[in-house]
Amino acid sequence: MMAVPDSRLAEAFLNAKRDFLSTLKSPSIIEQVSTSTSIEDINDFLHKLQTDQGNRQDLRNLRKIASYLDRLQQFSSVIEVLISSKPEILALIWGPIKLLMQMTKNVSLSFDAILDTMVKIGDSLPYFEKYTQLFKENERMADVLVLFYKDILDSYQITLNFFSAKRWIYIFESVWPKHKIKIDIVSTNIDRHRRLLTEEVNLEHIKEAHEARITILNDYQRNIDFQARQDFEAVESYISPKFYDDEFGLLQRNICERTGRWLQTDQAFQKWFDISDSSTRLVWIQGKPGAAKRNLKSNTKFARETLSNMLRCAGPTRIVIDGLDELPKGERTETLQELLEVLQDSNDTKILISSRAEKDIATALNKANPDVIRVDEKNLGCIQAYVSNRSRIWLSGSDFDEQACSEIRDLLMPLSAKAKGMFLYARIVMDNIEMCHSLDFIQRELRAPPESLEEA
């Protein structure tokens, strides 16, 4: 048969190259994927890589991909025979190998997965040098070469898109098996295309093979996407939180005016609340019982590691822990240790803890040097506003005359200081005096108020 037209075949390879580059999800890898253009470049890289692994005492079995590299070298040689100098086509045979190994070299499990993928594809590829003359003489057989080129690029597309994704390392073990199945499909396509080399093929056969390759991969992806949606919906339903919108709305409506605003201007809290400020990642809101701290804010190791992984994927996150002191001492110390581990593991995470200033909590937190906010030292103005608002509402609906109301307001003036930062103390005292129906009882109650929250 007549020799294969050089320009037509070159255009087919260039189209395959453009299609491949258009499927890469990360713009950065498009620039890096063609940096190696020959087997010599790969051998030099592998030699340096093995030396580095030896120095780190982490040698991997790079010899296992020798057959893969040999088949690719044969494939590359055949292309060079058929097409005049087209280094950009050959670069996509070699460049992804180096890039994938650079991406995964620091994680043994993923590096071995790349080696296994190359072994799988290498076992499927034919000995191209056996068919060199056939490719030169038969136009249809040369078209089969383009199919193999697309198959090789399919394997690279699957692996490059996975390992260029952000935080792939945290989902590798759970997600990679599905990508491995897709690699198996590519291997099956190669086996199917290899059989074309031993058969009488025409243009229709080649066209069918191209369409089948696309259909098989697309069908698998649709099934995977469908299953992923079902899995996501099932997990979303299982872990869907209870929404507290109604409770939150009720609490908001019951908040006393002019209270709690000091926290918004507190420097430590502002730094913690600012996502872009990493100087304050741990804040401890201290207070006495009833200081209204709350209104301001299995397998432990497995749970902590799972939370850390989720936080690394989630980006900037704030965690608020309220009432830590209400846990038994042993439990709260262990909880703090795990939380501080989470803080250390997740650089974009910030934690705010609200509790009484218990000694064991202070000991555990001091190692992390938290910024401390003393609620009871800053609540004076808020408690004054609370007492003022509540007494105004109470007295406006009472039977006391203006003189009695004025005296009661004067007697209430020291209450905010007497509360020592404890909202609960002020609330209990106000509850008590509102139940008094005579001025004498109110005077006795407020002239000798309780000395402590327990007494109140």
Segment 393-416, tens digit of pLDDT: 888 888 888 998 899 899 889 888
The answer to whether residue 149 scores a pLDDT higher than 90 is yes
d(CA 286, CA 376): 8
d(CA 322, CA 320): 6
- Cβ partners under 8 Å of residue 424, min gap 6: 289, 290, 291, 292, 453
Residue 98 has what pLDDT? 93
Residue 161 has what pLDDT? 93
Contact predicate 197/145, CB 8 Å: no
Q: When comparing pLDDT for 258 and 226, which is higher?
A: 226
Q: When comparing pLDDT for 90 and 4, which is higher?
A: 90
pLDDT digits (tens, 9 = 90+) for 288-311: 655 554 444 445 676 777 788 778
Work out the average pLDDT over 345-370.
87
Q: Count how many Cα atoms sit within 13 Å of the Cα of residue 385 in the half-sphere of its side chain.
A: 13
The answer to whether residue 5 scores a pLDDT higher than 60 is no
Q: Answer yes or no: pTM beyond 0.85.
A: no
Q: When comparing pLDDT for 4 and 304, which is higher?
A: 304
Residue 188 has what pLDDT? 92
d(CA 326, CA 324): 5
Distances (CA, A) of 68 to 41, 113, 125, 328: 15, 14, 8, 60
Residue 296 has what pLDDT? 40
d(CA 318, CA 270): 13
CA dihedral 243, 247, 250, 254 (to 10 degrees): -130
Confidence of residue 287 (pLDDT cuts 50, 70, 90): low
d(CA 420, CA 453): 10
The answer to whether residue 85 scores a pLDDT higher than 70 is no
Work out the average pLDDT over 80-102.
88
**Sheet bearing 317-322, strands edge to edge:** 317-322, 349-355, 282-286, 371-374
> What is the average pLDDT score of the chain?
84
Q: Token pair for residue 357?
A: 């200033």
What percentage of the chain reaches a pLDDT higher than 70? 92
Q: When comparing pLDDT for 296 and 182, which is higher?
A: 182
Q: Token pair for residue 206?
A: 């080649």
Residue 297 has what pLDDT? 41
The answer to whether residue 35 scores a pLDDT higher than 70 is yes
The answer to whether residue 80 scores a pLDDT higher than 80 is yes
Task: Pick the closest to residue 318 from 293, 333, 339 (CA basis).
Answer: 339
The answer to whether residue 2 scores a pLDDT higher than 60 is no
> SS3 helix, strand, coil % of the chain, rounded to 5?
70, 5, 25
Work out the average pLDDT over 180-201.
87
Confidence of residue 96 (pLDDT cuts 50, 70, 90): very high
